[in-house]
């Protein structure tokens, strides 16, 4: 996979073993009914066409990923479309979007999987048709993607845990996660939990709830945890919606300043919460770089060039002490 010849051999091998399952056929049959947000006209011109299917379109994070993809498209002179379901719980709708994108026969496809296993038949189908697959944000349990462009979520969530441990010292904490099906959702809980278990023996994670990255559901989950554990000292929210939901829950429960809230991602609501002292800090990714590198890798794959199997798009811890530093400000998305 580190050379064009290796890539071609792997594509051929996967193509030989590809079996288009009933799921693909079923989704293909209904693909014409798929709709998305942020999409554009499919590739009909002379430029290479890269179709990107994201996890969603509602968070500012995805808008920043799209900005990076658009920047790369302009620089590399390719056509890009970008779409995703309205919420990050709509796995079947995302699969329909993926099938619709494949039906347009793009030169390459980028995919941020809501479910790391459900798309495997379509990934295999894409390879069998000679369409390079670029996974971004969250990988899939398959060798089909020529590369995965993502944050090292295990390391990033461990960094969040390190700051939580430093701030609370000891006692009970909890996690509000965004999902259990994507690798992103799994690894952001796993990395955090593993760090606490190995490095903070006086801290106990008393509950982990999942609320689909929805602010209202995350707020409800955080309130329920606080009610069950009145002596709770901190809560970690694993994405933008989860973190803001936790902040709202703490505010509405009248416990601002009592609990340490740590988040993941950025966005206006999170940066405001940090400036207002409602959130201790958060991990920010570099979504613009993620979108840029996804399209760049897609173009390289189209041209048969070498592509690294994993492209780390990076992460940063930010809080009130460094939120205005130029290096941090450059990767915060509003």
CATH number of the domain where residue 307 is located = 3.40.50.2300
**163 and 115, same structural domain?**
no
- The pTM of the full predicted model, rounded to 2 decimals, is 0.75
Give me Rg for the CA atoms of the chain. Answer: 20
Can you give the pLDDT at residue 2? Answer: 37
Determine, yes or no, domain membership for 4.
no
169-204 tens-digit pLDDT: 999 999 999 999 888 999 999 999 999 999 999 999
Domain shared by 182 and 276, yes or no: yes
pLDDT-based confidence at residue 128 (cuts at 50, 70, 90): very high
pLDDT band per the 50, 70, 90 thresholds, residue 140: confident
User: Cα–Cα distances in Å, from 264 out to 79, 185, 256?
Assistant: 31, 11, 19
Residue 218 domain boundaries = 153-285
Q: Compute the distance between CA of residue 170 and CA of residue 108 in angstroms, rounded to an integer.
A: 49
319 part of a folded domain:
no
pLDDT at 8 over 50: no
Q: Of the candidates 111, 115, 188, which has an alpha carbon nearest to the alpha carbon of residue 152? A: 188
Higher pLDDT, 267 or 210: 210
Is position 34 within any domain? no
Q: Do residues 280 and 302 both lie within one domain? A: no
Do 159 and 305 belong to one domain?
no
What integer pLDDT is reported at residue 38 of this predicted model? Answer: 45
**Are 179 and 146 part of one and the same domain?**
no
Residues 236 and 260 in one domain: yes
Whether 265 is covered by a domain: the verdict is yes
**DSSP secondary-structure letter at 141?**
S
Q: What is the pLDDT of residue 44?
A: 57
pLDDT at 34 over 80: no
Domain presence at residue 39: no
Q: Are residues 171 and 255 in the same domain?
A: yes
Question: pLDDT band at residue 242, thresholds of 50, 70 and 90?
Answer: very high
Same domain, 249 and 103: no
User: Based on the domain organization, do 159 and 142 belong to the same domain?
Assistant: no
Structural domains in the chain (count) = 2
Q: What is the mean pLDDT of the chain?
A: 87
Ranges 16-30, 95-109, 251-265: which has the least confidence: 16-30
Give the pLDDT band of residue 56 (cuts 50, 70, 90): confident
328, HSE (Cβ side, Cα atoms, 13 Å): 18
Question: Which two three-digit tokens encode residue 91?
Answer: 């796995």
Please indicate, yes or no, if residue 324 is contained in any of the structural domains. no
Q: Judging by DSSP bridges, how do beta strands 315-319 and 281-285 pair with one another?
A: antiparallel
Strand partners for 133: 109
145 and 293 in one domain?
yes
Predicted confidence at residue 148, as pLDDT, reads 96
Query: Per-residue pLDDT for 130 more than 50?
Result: yes
Residue 133 maps to a domain: yes
Q: Are residues 180 and 276 in the same domain?
A: yes
Task: Between 94 and 27, name the one with better pLDDT.
Answer: 94
| Region of poorest pLDDT, from 6-20, 146-160, 225-239, 315-329 | 6-20
Tell whether 252 and 274 lie within a shared domain: yes
Position 13 in a domain: no
Q: What is the mean pLDDT of residues 231-245?
A: 97
pLDDT score for 183: 87
pLDDT tens digits, one per residue of 291-317: 999 999 999 999 999 999 999 999 999
């Amino acid at each position: 996979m580190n050379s064009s010849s290796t890539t071609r051999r792997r594509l051929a091998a996967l193509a030989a073993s590809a079996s288009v399952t009933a799921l693909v056929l079923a989704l293909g049959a209904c693909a014409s009914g798929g709709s998305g947000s942020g999409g554009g006209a499919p590739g009909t011109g002379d430029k290479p066409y890269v179709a990107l299917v994201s996890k969603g379109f509602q968070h500012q994070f995805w808008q920043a990923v799209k900005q990076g993809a658009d920047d790369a498209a302009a620089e590399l002179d390719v056509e890009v479309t970008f779409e995703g379901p309205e919420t990050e719980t709509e796995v079947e709708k995302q699969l329909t979007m993926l099938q619709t994108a494949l039906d347009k026969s793009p030169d390459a496809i980028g995919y941020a999987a809501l479910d790391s296993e459900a798309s495997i038949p379509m990934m295999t189908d894409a390879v069998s048709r000679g369409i390079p697959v670029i996974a971004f944000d969250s990988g899939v349990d398959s060798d089909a993607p020529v590369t995965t462009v993502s944050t090292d979520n295990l390391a990033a969530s461990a960094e969040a845990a390190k700051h939580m441990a430093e701030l609370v010292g000891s006692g009970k904490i909890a996690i509000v996660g965004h999902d259990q099906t994507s690798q992103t959702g799994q690894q952001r809980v796993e990395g955090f939990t593993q760090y606490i278990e190995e490095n903070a023996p006086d801290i106990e994670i008393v509950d982990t709830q999942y609320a689909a990255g929805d602010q209202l559901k995350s707020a409800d989950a955080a309130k329920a945890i606080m009610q069950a554990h009145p002596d709770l000292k901190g809560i970690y929210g694993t994405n933008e919606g989860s973190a803001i939901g936790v902040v709202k829950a703490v505010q509405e429960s009248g416990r601002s300043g009592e609990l340490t809230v740590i988040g993941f991602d950025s966005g206006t609501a999170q940066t405001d919460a940090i400036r207002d002292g409602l959130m201790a800090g958060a991990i920010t990714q570099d979504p613009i770089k993620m979108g840029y590198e996804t399209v760049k890798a897609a173009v390289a794959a189209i041209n048969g060039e070498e592509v690294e199997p994993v492209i780390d798009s990076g992460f940063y811890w930010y809080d009130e002490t460094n939120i205005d530093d130029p290096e941090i400000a450059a990767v915060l998305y509003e």
